Amino acid sequence: MRSDIINLYKKADKKGFAIGAFNFSTNEILKGIFNAAVKMKAPVIVSMSEGERNFFGCNESVGVFRALRKKYPYVILHADHTKSFDELKKVVDAGYPSVHFDGSELDFNENIRQTRKAAEYAHMHNVFIEGELGGIKGGSTIHRESLKDVLTEDVFTNPVQAEGFVQLTGVDSLAISIGNAHGLWKEQKKLDFDRLKKVKQKTGAFLVLHGGSGISSHDFRKAIGLGVNKININTETRVAYAHGLLKALHKRTDYVPYHYLNDVVDAVSKIVEEKIIIFKSEKKI
């Protein structure tokens, strides 16, 4: 399936859109993402962090993904922020077609060494692999701190290092740090577009923007124009899920879950539909 995923990234790069990658940890969130993709006729990536996989079930997520692919073959299951070779091997062996190896907390040379090992294993099993250089701070929640406290120069992706990293590791795509951070923060995120432009020029790689929640539509469109091919969203769908669930429970008239959980699915779908339009990925299947 790796070649199909590469072709999708090539299409996004050529036609100037970004593939939306939306995390899920419950069936309702997954259904909301899936419904939006089908409605908008958009290719979509459904992602799971290690914590989300542990909650939902690694093998279970693969089983659900395969069932969804029979209905709509334009969905890709992706293992997000995999930080060890053992964990990467686990998801690859389980049947994930795409994986993110996150060695950003390692020093540069060790990140190259471990990412190269991960890429070799992934490619041996026909799996697409995303590497990471720099540091994407925060968690997928609402933060009370200021971005200024976490976005220091040492966490930003160095364009020169990025060129060597891509060449030496053989990754299929690269997650970069250019002012993005996981979660929603007190202030608006500001992306370093000059850095993004240099990374794209140096590497020619497919580029990934994590921490998409809270970035403005204008900045998304500009980042896509400069070569971002995949954008990750998690916190905004989590917030929509929580608010949708609380509202649905408040007006519940019975104890039949599917009578009120449809409202939760719709709340998630609304966010995903909005992002698909911003990412210009509608009608791109």
User: Which residue, 38, 40, 44, is CA-closest to 8?
Assistant: 44
Question: Where does 45-95 have alpha helices with state H?
Answer: 50-56, 58-71, 85-94
User: Dihedrals φ, ψ of 230, to 5°?
Assistant: -145, 135
In order of 23, 108, 185, 282, the CA distances from 102 in angstroms are 16, 12, 22, 29
Task: Give the HSE-up count for residue 8: Cα atoms under 13 Å, Cβ half-sphere.
Answer: 23
Residue 266 designated active-site: no
Catalytic choice (13, 80, 172, 219): 80
| Rounded-to-5 percentages of helix, strand, coil across the chain | 55, 15, 30
Cα(127)–Cα(212) distance, rounded to whole angstroms? 24
Query: What is the C-alpha R_g of the chain?
Result: 18
Cα(236)–Cα(11) distance, rounded to whole angstroms? 26
User: Which residue, 231, 258, 234, 256, is CA-closest to 29?
Assistant: 234
By annotation, the residues acting in catalysis are: 80
